[in-house]
Structure 1
Amino acid sequence: MNDDRRDKLRSLSIDRDEVQGGSGGVSPLVLVGAVLVTALIAAGAVWFLMQGDEAAPAQTQQAASTVEAPASQPVPASSETPAPAASRVPRAAGLVASGYVTARRQATVSAEITGRIAEVLVEEGAEVEAGEVLARLDDTRARLDLDLIDAQIAAAEARVRSLEFQAREARTVTGRASSLFEREIASEAALTAAQAQQSSLEAQLRAARADLDSARVRRTSQEDLIARHIVRAPFAGVVIAKNAQVGEILFPGSAGGGFTRTGVATLVDMASLEIEVDVNEGQIQRVSPGQRVEAVLDAYPDWRIPARVEAIIPTADRSRATIQVRVALNERDERVLPDMAARVTFIE
């Protein structure tokens, strides 16, 4: 920087030799004026350079302070800026525990019998009512057996009608034989034979009627078996998993795998959702049934759900030294889903 100043000053100076050589002689007054002008110009240049050097650090320092301002000083909020954190509702104080949303009513719906799945009528996310049909099994063989039982019932009814006619005739014959025997027209042997025939037909009639009743019971049982080929929802809820497809074998007693399935769909009652948390044994005295709770889902950190302690499970986990607490939600919302992570605060 000093070299630049020296060069600029040297460029502003006047060479006396050039002035004298060019004019062939200059008066002292003119020479003094030139020297004064030169000195004034040089002084002005020096002042200008010094002001520039002092301004540069000031501008640099001002720029640095401008860059650092956001980190050290908060920017004043305008009328459109949200309210500061100090004006928000303070969080509840108390014991904090973490857990997950669970359903008190959840079931993997299946049939009571083994069969090939012929139709599945639901998909994931479908809302169903209690008793609604979820799937159907192939019931062709069961309906054939029902037709066979219907034929047996028809034959039993015909036999019963036939025996009823025979028994009625046998009673008539017995009555006539008894009348003749009383008038000593017929022998006692004829009366005894008529009575035996009547008793035999009546016994056969009772057996035929019993067979008819048995066939009707078998028909009722077969109808119930056919009804068991239909998988229905045991309660109202939402289907969260579709566990089987058409053509697979439904075998509730197996372990599943391959083309064998143990259930058709998993159903959850959304009205029974609650939060299960584990509380340390040393802090369980701070929790009581009915205590107010504030729940926050990890998926919605700004949404605080009012809740309460539903129950304290009367057993401890030996490996983790915790006790399970069930928290019931006071609000029902579609955003609450099973297996969501949650954090609860037991308000004291």
Structure 2
Amino acid sequence: MSNAELLKQLRIDHAQRESHGGGNGLKVAIIVGVVVLVLAIGAAVAWWLLGTKALPVQTAQATAPTAQSGAGSVLQATGYITARRQATVSAQITGTLTEVLIEEGDRVKKGQVLARLDDNGYRASLEATKASALAAGAQASQVSAQLEQARRDVIRADALAQRGLVSKQSAEQQRATTDALVAQLRSAQRQAESAQSQVNVAQVNYDYTVVRAPFDGVITDKAAQVGEIVSPLSAGGGFTRTGVGTIVDMDSLEIDVDVNEAYIGRVKPDMAAEAVLDAYPDWKIPAHVIAIVPAADRGKATVKVRVALELKDERIVPDMGVRVSFLDARPVRAAAPPKGVLVPAKAIVQRDGHDVVFVVADNRARQHAVTPAAQSYGELRLVPSAVNAGDTVVVSPADELHDGAAVEPAKTP
């Protein structure tokens, strides 16, 4: 029976009041008691459901500060991982791909074959030029043999002329024949050299049908498939590929950051820095400034700064987002890390006029009163006590979150 129906039964006509005053009074008292009991039970159930329903929250982990954290950063900036050495590899001639030997993620060595083009025409041209070179060489050898014979004939003719057995004119004619053969030999030799040059050209064109890696690296993009036409020049129609794939030298990775021109004076060459990838927020990578590019972006009012990574790792890939903290140039290695833990600044909220942090334990939010340090570390604040390293804290807790409330940490996508 609903509350409305119970209340409806409380209505008593005037006639019933007059005729049954005593009995109806008892009945009314019973009904009122039942209604009050039902309402009390409903309120208790609603309070229990609301009190035990888990509240979704964003969380982060409290981390212990390092000595460099104690040194403090003079500036923070965001940027991206870039490769100073990368290339889109293409063929130097136009042709049809017959083999593509790469896939994304493959590691290749300098000179390794990446793809092959149809080489039938170039092979035939190479064989033809080789045959022409052989013929030219044979012609030069033939003339050389004739010249040797002519030179011996000149010697004999001179000897006979001195003895008067032949005329001097005959000896001179033999000498002229020898000179003519010398000229023919020179011409044949030049033709042989020209034919060999044609062989070299044909060999180069034939070698162009094989696409090789220009340096050691990793394939980040496969741009063509077997059967497609590749060309070093764009055909404009969209049916010709201008590259086979992209290769990146992972040892050349560095960071490009845009620093507001109002703060660029704080950055110096060779300045120590610390990089944190957006993908790995708990991983601090030592770095240093390579150079400050002497040009400003008028639209963004920023100056580009190149930052070198002092640690190479397979997890670092091009175009990753990264946050760079430029550290104080004063020596910090001997400094002791500050006492306490670092938590996101948004995890510290006000409750009853006090700074508190909610620590998640057993899916319950436990309120801890804290006194944050005055010094900040970017988006982090130092909490000297009440929170331990490794504790899970609630970021930007809602106003309705209270001590002991059930919470459900949001899953990381």
Would the TM-score normalized by the shorter structure come out above 0.5? yes
Q: Deviation string for 1:105-142 (max 9, x for gaps)?
A: 11101122222222111011111111111111111111
Residue 94 of structure 1: how far off its partner (Å): 3.0
Local SS of the residue matching 2:324:
strand
From 60, 73, 79, the equivalent of 1:93 is 73
Q: What per-residue deviation string (whole Å, max 9, x for no partner) do you get for residues 201-233 of structure 1?
A: 121112112211222222122212211211111
1:257 is displaced (CA, Å) by 4.8
Aligned match of 1:249? 229
Output the CA distance in 1 between the equivalents of 2:61 and 2:220.
Answer: 41
SS in 2 for 1:196: helix
Number of paired residues? Answer: 294
* Among candidates 160, 163, 169, match of residue 143 of structure 2: 163
Matched residues in 2 for 1:114 and 1:291: separation?
A: 48
* Cα distance in structure 1, aligned partners of 2:51 and 2:233: 72
Structure of greater Rg: 1
Offset of residue 255 of structure 1: 5.7
CA distance in 2: counterparts of 1:103 and 1:312, whole angstroms: 17
- Paired residue type of 1:151: A
Q: Taking structure 2 as the reference length, what is the TM-score of the superposition?
A: 0.63
Distance 1:312 1:255, change over 3 A: farther
Deviations 1:66-119 (A, max 9, x none): 949x99xxxxxxxxxxx984x632755331111111111111011222222221
In structure 1, what is the equivalent of residue 190 of structure 2? 210
| Equivalent of residue 252 in structure 2, options 272, 277, 294 | 272
User: Any stretches of 5+ residues in structure 1 without a counterpart?
Assistant: 12-48, 72-82
SS at match of 2:178: helix
Q: Which whole-Å CA distance do the structure 1 matches of 2:93 and 2:190 have between them?
A: 29
Is 2:312 the counterpart of 1:332?
A: yes
1:232 to 201, 212, 236: 212
Contact 1:139 1:229 in 2 (8 A): yes
Match for 1:309: what amino acid? V
- Give the aligned partner of residue 153 of structure 1: 133
Larger deviation: 252-261 or 123-132?
252-261
User: 2:197 matched to 1:200?
Assistant: no
Q: Distance in 2 between matches of 1:331 and 1:174?
A: 80
How far did residue 161 of structure 1 move? 2.5
2:263 partner SS: helix
Distance 1:121 1:282 in 2: 50
Give the 5 Å matches for 1:125-136: 125-136=105-116
Residue in structure 1 matched with residue 243 of structure 2 by the alignment: 263
Q: Which amino acid aligns with 1:250?
A: V
**Pairwise mapping of residues 62-81 of structure 1 onto structure 2 (< 5 A)?**
67=51
State the TM-score, normalizing by the size of structure 1: 0.74
Q: How many Å separate the matches in 2 of 1:253 and 1:340?
A: 31
Structure 1 residue 297, shift from structure 2 partner? 1.4
* Two-structure CA RMSD over aligned residues (Å): 3.5
Identify if the C-alpha distance between structure 1 residues 218 and 249 changes in structure 2 by more than 3 Å, giving closer, same or farther: same
Q: 2:171 aligns with which of 191, 197, 200?
A: 191
Secondary structure of the residue aligned to 2:282 is strand
CA distance in 1, matches of 2:155, 2:238: 73
Contact 1:256 1:262 survives alignment (8 Å): no
**Aligned equivalents of 1:344, 1:256: Cα separation in 2:** 42
In 2 relative to 1, CA 101–335 (structure 1 residues): closer, same or farther, beyond 3 Å? same
User: For residues 275-312 of structure 1, what are the alpha-carbon distances to aligned partners after superposition, in whole Å with 9 as ceiling and x for unaligned?
Assistant: 11100111001111111212111112222222111111
Partners of 2:182 and 2:119 in 1: CA distance? 40
Deviation at 1:258, TM superposition (A): 2.6
Runs of 4+ in 1 over 4 A off after TM superposition: none
- Say whether residues 1:314 and 2:294 are aligned partners: yes
Q: Which amino acid aligns with 1:203?
A: A
